[in-house]
Chains A and B, each alone.
Chain A
Amino acid sequence: MLTCREIIDNADHLLDGTTSRRQRLAVKAHLLMCRHCRRYVRQLRALLRAVPFMYGKASDAEVSRVMAHLHSHRTVKH
Chain B
Amino acid sequence: MDRETLQRLQAGDQALFADLVRDHHRALIALAVPIVGHSEAEEVVQNAWLKAHRAIARFEGRAHIRTWLGRIVINEAKMQLRQRGREQLFADWQSADESGEALAERFSANGHWQLPPTQWDMDTPEGLLMRDDLANCLEELLNAMPANQRAVLELRDTTGFSFEDVCNELSLSASNARVILHRARSQLFKLVDHYEETGEC
Contacts and interface: CB of A to CB of B under 8 A. Distances in A.
Contacts, number: 120
A37 B181 CA distance: 19
B46 A5 contact: no
A67 to B, nearest CB: 6
A51 B181 CA distance: 13
Interface string A38-78: 01100110111111111111100011011101100100000
A4 B107 CA distance: 8
Q: Chain B at the A interface: mostly helix, strand, loop or mixed?
A: helix
A52 B66 contact: yes
B82 interface: no
Nearest to A67: B18
A28 interface: no
| Interface range, A side | 35 or more
Contact of A50 (B18, B66, B117, B125): B125
A39 B135 CA distance: 23
B116 A36 contact: yes
Contact of A54 (B135, B178, B186): B135
B25 A58 contact: yes
Q: Chain A at the B interface: mostly helix, strand, loop or mixed?
A: helix
Interface in A7-22: 8-9, 12-13, 16, 18
A27 B14 CA distance: 49
Contact of B26 (A9, A57, A69): A57
Interface in B9-65: 14, 17-18, 21-23, 25-27, 29-30, 46, 49-50, 53
The 6 closest A-B pairs by CB, nearest first: A3-B111, A55-B26, A36-B116, A5-B111, A50-B128, A58-B25
Interface of A: 3-6, 8-9, 12-13, 16, 18, 36-37, 39-40, 43-44, 46-58, 62-63, 65-67, 69-70, 73
20 contacts: A4-B112, A8-B103, A8-B107, A36-B113, A36-B117, A43-B189, A44-B189, A46-B122, A47-B129, A50-B130, A51-B158, A53-B126, A54-B135, A55-B27, A55-B29, A57-B22, A58-B23, A58-B26, A63-B21, A67-B17
